[in-house]
């Protein structure tokens, strides 16, 4: 793994996808070692995806390639991968292609780009965002100093129309102390999204594992996501 990406491994990130998207403009300065005729994806998108993988826990070229291959298409679209003009599907490169590209990069240029990005984070400002699966940011709220995301979660969603919406949240927001916006989510749904402390959802080992507890009308899922965190879906 390039040394510059190793620097990201030591940078705390509560939202790897959002941080990697913020890194992408800095990556435009990195020279592209590929022949112009063989470029299918923007270099900055590939590097942003690699950065998201590292921020989410990948620690090898193989793991980075696998993360990019397995990530949901809406997630890689946020990082700059454009849909195919004919099929409208977002296609990502094979993990071996990603490994070869990272091995050929100008390490100094990549290090400078990531260093410039990290220097902008010296003032720690935490932002909590609500994002549609299309990549559109629906709302954003700054997390107060000496606080955490739990207290900002309900105010963040109060301005978002959640009618007939499926809300996916980090596991942090499914604790008993978390507050969901009353006007947007029914009481029954909130009870399922906030399990008692003595009940823990069963999980299985695997990159996209989930467990479900069906009732008469719906299912709630807890999903562990490789791009950062897990959550309940109602």
pTM of the model: 0.53
Rounded to whole angstroms, the Cα distance separating 222 from 85 reads 34
Q: Note the pLDDT of residue 48.
A: 94
Average pLDDT over residues 164-177: 73
For residue 224, the cross-strand partners are 230
3-class secondary-structure state, position 233: strand
Model pLDDT, residue 223: 40
Q: What share of the chain is helix, strand, coil (3-state, %, to 5)?
A: 40, 10, 50
pLDDT band per the 50, 70, 90 thresholds, residue 4: confident
Residue 181's pLDDT is 58
Cα–Cα distances in angstroms (integers) from residue 196 to residues 47, 175, 182, 200, in the given order: 41, 8, 19, 8
For the chain, the domains span: 3-119, 148-233
Convert the pLDDT of each residue in 120-129 to its tens digit. 875 556 778 8
pLDDT, tens only, 206-217: 333 333 344 433
Q: Which residue has the higher pLDDT, 158 or 186?
A: 158
């Amino acid at each position: 793994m390039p040394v510059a990406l190793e620097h990201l491994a030591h940078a705390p990130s509560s939202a790897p996808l959002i941080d990697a998207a913020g890194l992408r403009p800095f990556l435009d300065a990195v020279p592209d070692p590929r022949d112009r005729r063989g470029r299918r994806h923007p270099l900055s998108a590939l590097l942003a995806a690699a950065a998201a993988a590292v921020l989410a826990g990948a620690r090898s070229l193989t793991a980075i390639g696998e993360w990019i291959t397995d990530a949901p298409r809406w997630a890689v679209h946020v990082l700059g991968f454009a849909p195919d003009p004919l099929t409208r599907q977002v296609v990502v490169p094979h993990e071996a292609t990603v490994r070869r590209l990272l091995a050929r990069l100008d390490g100094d240029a990549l290090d400078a780009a990531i260093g410039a990005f990290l220097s902008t984070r010296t003032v720690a400002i935490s932002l909590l965002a609500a994002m549609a699966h299309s990549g559109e940011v629906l709302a954003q709220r700054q997390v107060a100093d000496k606080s955490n995301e739990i207290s900002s979660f309900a105010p963040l969603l109060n301005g978002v129309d959640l009618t007939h919406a499926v809300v996916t949240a980090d596991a942090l927001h499914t604790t008993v102390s978390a507050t969901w916006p009353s006007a947007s989510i029914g009481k029954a749904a909130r009870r399922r999204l906030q399990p008692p402390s003595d009940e823990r959802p069963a999980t299985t080992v695997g990159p996209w594992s989930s467990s479900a507890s069906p009732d008469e009308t719906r299912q709630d899922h807890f999903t562990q996501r490789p791009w950062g965190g897990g959550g309940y879906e109602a």
